[in-house]
Amino acid sequence: MNNLDKLISENSVEELSNLLLDKNLNIDEVEKIYYAFDDNKIIVGQVAMNLSQRTSVYNRDDGYSETMVKLLIDISKNRVDMGARWAVAKNPHTPIEVLEFLSKDEVNLVRALVATNPSTPVKILEKFFSDEKIVKDGLSGNPSTPIKLLKIFVSDNDKMVRLRLAENSSSNIEILKLLLDDESEDVKIAAKIALEEKK
Q: What is the pLDDT of residue 65?
A: 87
pLDDT one-digit tens code per residue, 70-79: 999 999 998 8
Q: Tell me the CA distances in angstroms from 28 to 35, 75, 159, one per residue in order.
A: 11, 15, 43
pLDDT in the model for residue 59: 64
pLDDT at 118: 92
Range 11-27 burial, b when 16+ CB lie within 10 A, else e: eebeebbebbeeeeeeb
Q: Give the DSSP H or E segment for 186.
A: helix 185-198
From first to last of its 199 residues, what are the pLDDT tens digits of the chain?
A: 688 888 898 888 999 999 999 999 999 999 999 999 999 999 999 999 999 888 866 666 667 889 999 999 999 998 888 888 988 999 989 999 999 999 999 999 999 999 999 999 999 999 999 999 999 999 999 999 999 999 999 999 999 999 999 999 999 999 999 999 999 999 999 999 999 998 7
- Residue 1: the pLDDT is 61
CA distance 18 to 68: 19
Contact of 79 with 56, CB cutoff 8 Å = no
Integer CA distances (angstroms), 5 to 9, 10, 22, 33, 70, in order: 6, 8, 17, 9, 21
Q: Which helix (H) or strand (E) holds 94?
A: none
pTM for this model (two decimals): 0.84
